[in-house]
């Protein structure tokens, strides 16, 4: 068991189990063959052949595409094919900031293997003995990673809100960090990965932020999505990361990135270069 | 002109102009076809065919390989085929920390297109108005990037010295930073790239460090490799990076990495994700 196992878990997928999802001639996602077969039931929306799933070319703009997909997804949700419904629209893009091809309910994003985006924040305090990190335990009711360890604050990045704005909003909801304090978050980069998960293919970019908190600050969850918060030494963080899958798969990457950026893992360490390069996929 | 141009410059090479350099069945470098032809003059060391250059299989261990290559390189240096001789041995490895296949004079590394390693340090001060960064101008006598802008401290990573140890040693030589202060450097990650340069194919990993300096510290070059030091606002750094090639090609990556890690460039910025992913190549 090592940190490299956490990276490997975020890269494990079988391309041969998928076919491209194509919009306007552009491959923008990956759909499992069994789900592709299911989409044959919606011939006015999808053209399904052995090599790809194409969004019908008659659906030519954002609004008509989004409405057509929403109708299909409602049926699939009612049949239990899509679970963990969030009522949160994600833009379908290759890169954040592009004109979205359509919008799609968050829970469906991994079923179509389109790129998802999120914001994760490392909350920490600085003591004489060193940095300590706040770690959250996800509620057992969460549709993904129930009961797993997480950053102090993390959330999906829906359509129609800026990344920084969303990060600050999540700070309030997930940890009760007031905006005046949350505004001090520092953007520190991003991690990315593509892997098979129970919910489908996760092909995500997570924008990472750090926030140094006052020693007397105690996080308070306000949205029921966090069961508990712990304040851990970085030694403890690295030990938990190294020895098992207690951290949610993608939160492990964000935590490793923090350890690398803060010099807690040094380049003379054997796996350093592999870890550095494992945190991001070519985009 | 934009920061993305700096990334593109670090990825520009023509694979079709090269053939693999193979040691013990393992492709460990890329040699230009014209240089491969030149290596036919050394048939006891290299087997040159149309598809690859192989180190002779009889050269079975580190010492005999290194000695054989050294003999060839001395001839090529005397004939002017290899310039910028450094008298500094680099290990030939794929990843830092592996057992080296041989050691090789630094100036020859790009001719064989094997991976090189370096240490770069961002020196900065923190003022009420924000962070200011020390920038060095390379001496006009440097074999690579003469007169170009550089980090406060940067150097190659030779064989036989740890990465952190080398970083601290370079701090003294390049900027007169005493060990007691240099020991405070924080490892913050790495950048990597592969591109054609006048000296050959650069396929490098640069280990990056940050050092916060006291406001009253003034760098002093002791090895003649730096012509001048400037203390610049990050606004100025980004302007110079964005508008031309004043920074040495690879130092630009290290500076962009600093701007991203410190939140000076934020994820709502259009090119953010491309920049983040452009700083490192798959290894």
Interface predicted TM-score (ipTM): 0.95
Q: What is the spatial distance between Cα B34 and Cα B22, in angstroms, rounded to a whole number?
A: 17
Give pLDDT, residue B1.
Answer: 65
B38: pLDDT strictly greater than 80: yes
B29 pairs with which residues across the strands?
A: B21
The pLDDT of residue A60:
92
The secondary structure of residue B80, as a DSSP letter, is: T
Q: From start to end of chain A, where are the E strands? A: 18-23, 26-32, 46-48, 53-55, 89-91, 103-105, 115-127, 130-138, 149-151, 153-156, 186-197, 200-212, 226-233
Could you tell me the end-to-end alpha-carbon distance of chain B, in angstroms, rounded to an integer?
Answer: 28
Q: Which residues of B sit within 8 Å Cβ distance of A?
A: 95-97, 162-164, 185-190, 192, 205, 207, 209, 260-263, 265-268, 270, 272-274, 276-277, 280-283
Residue A283, pLDDT score: 81
* Yes or no, beta carbons of B265 and A188 under 8 Å apart: no
Q: What three-state secondary structure class fits B228?
A: strand
* B283 contacts A7 by C-beta, under 8 angstroms: no
**Residue B142 CA: distances (Å) to CA of B85, B204, B217:** 11, 18, 25
pTM confidence score: 0.96
Interface of A to B at Cβ within 8 Å reads: 95-97, 162-164, 186-190, 192, 205, 207, 209, 260-263, 265-268, 270, 272-274, 276-277, 280-283
Could you give the CA distance from residue A169 to residue B282 in angstroms, rounded to a whole number?
A: 34
CA-CA distance, A192 to A120, in Å (whole number)? Answer: 12
Contact at CB, A267 and B192, closer than 8 angstroms: no
Cα(B135)–Cα(B153) distance, rounded to whole angstroms? 9
Contact A187 B283 (CB under 8 A): no
Q: Which of B267, B269, B273, B278 to mutate to test the interface with A (most CBs of A within 10 A)?
A: B267
Q: What is the pLDDT along chain A (283 residues), one digit of tens a residue?
A: 699 999 999 999 999 999 999 999 999 999 999 999 999 999 999 999 999 999 999 999 999 999 999 999 999 999 999 999 999 999 999 999 999 999 999 999 999 999 999 999 999 999 999 999 999 999 999 989 999 999 999 999 999 999 999 999 999 999 999 999 999 999 999 999 999 999 999 999 999 999 999 999 999 998 899 999 999 999 999 999 999 999 999 999 999 999 999 999 999 999 999 999 999 998 8
CA distance A181 to B98: 45
Point out the residue among A190, A192, A263 whose CB comes nearest to the CB of B186. A263
For the four alpha carbons of B167, B172, B175 and B180, in that order, the dihedral sign comes to positive
| Closest in A188, A273, A280 to B277, CB measured | A280
**Cα–Cα distance measured from residue A265 to residue A105, given in angstroms and rounded to the nearest whole number:** 38
Identify all chain B residues contacting A268, using CB atoms and an 8 Å cutoff: 97, 162-164
């Amino acid at each position: 068991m090592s940190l490299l196992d956490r990276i490997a878990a975020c890269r494990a997928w079988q391309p041969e189990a998928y076919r491209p999802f194509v919009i306007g001639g552009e491959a923008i996602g990956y759909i499992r063959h069994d789900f592709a077969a299911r989409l044959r039931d919606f011939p006015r929306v999808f053209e399904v052949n052995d090599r790809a799933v194409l969004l019908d070319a008659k659906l030519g703009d954002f609004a008509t595409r989004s409405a057509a997909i929403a109708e299909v997804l409602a049926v699939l949700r009612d049949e239990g094919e899509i679970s963990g419904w969030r009522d949160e629209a994600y833009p379908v893009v290759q890169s954040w900031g592009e004109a979205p091809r359509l919008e799609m309910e968050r829970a469906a994003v991994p079923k179509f293997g389109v790129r998802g985006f999120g914001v994760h924040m490392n909350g920490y305090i600085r003591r004489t003995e060193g940095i300590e990190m706040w770690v959250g335990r996800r509620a057992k009711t969460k549709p993904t990673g129930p009961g797993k360890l997480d950053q102090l604050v993390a959330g999906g990045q829906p359509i129609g809100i800026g990344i920084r704005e969303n990060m600050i909003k999540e700070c309030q909801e997930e940890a009760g960090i007031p905006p005046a304090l949350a505004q001090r978050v520092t953007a520190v980069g991003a991690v990315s990965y593509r892997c098979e998960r129970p919910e489908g293919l996760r092909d995500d970019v997570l924008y990472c932020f750090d926030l140094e908190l006052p020693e007397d600050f105690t996080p308070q969850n306000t949205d029921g999505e966090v069961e508990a918060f712990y304040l851990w030494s970085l030694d403890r963080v690295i030990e938990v990361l190294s020895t098992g899958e207690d951290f949610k798969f993608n939160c492990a990457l964000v935590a490793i990135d923090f350890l690398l950026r803060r010099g807690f893992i040094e380049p003379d360490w054997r796996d350093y270069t592999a870890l550095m390069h494992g945190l991001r996929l070519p985009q």
